[in-house]
Amino acid sequence: MTNKTSPFNPFDYMDTQDEINDFLRECLEDDDPNVFVSALGHLVKSHGVADVAEVTGLSRESLYKTFNGKTQPKWSTIFKVTNAIGLHLAVA
C-alpha cells in the first residue's frame, strides 16, 4: 500500500482575504525574505500558475523557477505577480 501525499499549500486552508493578508504580512515581516517569496509562490499556485502566467506575460516555466527556492526573483517579477493576483503591497 502506497500513501501519497500532496504538497502543503497554506492558502488551501484560508477562507477570507483578511486571513490571506495577515499571513502574507507575517511572512513579509520575517527576517528571511525567502519566507515571503515562498508564500507568494504558494499563492500563485492557488490562483493557477497558467492564469498568472497569462496575466503577467511570463511563462509558466519562468514562474516555477521564480518560486522554486533556488533563485532570487527580480523585483519586477514580484511586482508583476502581485499585481496579477490582486495583491497590493504598501509601505506603512
Round to the nearest angstrom and report the end-to-end CA distance of the chain: 52
C-alpha cell at 86: 490582486
Instruction: Please report, rounded to a whole number, the percentage of residues in the chain having pLDDT higher than 70.
Output: 98
pTM of the prediction?
A: 0.84
Comparing CA positions, the residue from 45, 34, 50 lying closest to residue 11 is: 45
How far is C-alpha 90 from the chain's CA centre? 17
How many residues does this entry show for the chain?
Answer: 92
Cβ–Cβ contacts within 10 Å for residue 37, how many? Answer: 21
pLDDT digits (tens, 9 = 90+) for 42-64: 999 999 999 999 999 999 999 99
Task: Evaluate if residue 68 carries a pLDDT over 70.
Answer: yes
CB 46 within 8 A of CB 17: no
Task: Evaluate if residue 91 carries a pLDDT over 90.
Answer: no
Written as one letter, the residue type at 19 is E
